[in-house]
Amino acid sequence: MSQLLQHLPAGTRCRIISLEGDERHTQRVMQLGLVPGVWCTIVRKAPFGGPLELALDVARLGVRPTRELRIYVDV
């Protein structure tokens, strides 16, 4: 069952299912390597809905999920 990435705790390893929202935002994170099928780990979460630090196999990304960018994952 898919969940929103920002609702998971730090330390969770998950697989990206889909990206939804504004095309500009979704295209940008896809260019950075966050595409459906990729496994990532939530390294850190900033308080009060701030950005998330994600570890992929080859990089670390800072992502701020918003209404314009919803990332659905499977744990």
Residue 41 confidence (pLDDT): 97
Distance, CA of 29 to CA of 13 (rounded, Å)? 18
Q: Are 53 and 43 within 8 A, CB to CB?
A: yes
Residue 58 confidence (pLDDT): 87
Which helix (H) or strand (E) covers residue 25, if one does?
Answer: helix 23-31
Q: Which fold has domain 3-74?
A: SH3 type barrels. (2.30.30)
Residue 28 confidence (pLDDT): 93
Domains of the chain, by residue range, sit at 3-74
Task: Print pLDDT tens along the chain (75 aa).
Answer: 789 999 999 999 999 999 999 999 999 999 999 999 999 999 999 988 889 999 998 899 999 888 889 999 999
**pTM, to two decimals:** 0.89
Residue 31 sits at φ, ψ, to 5 deg, of -65, -30
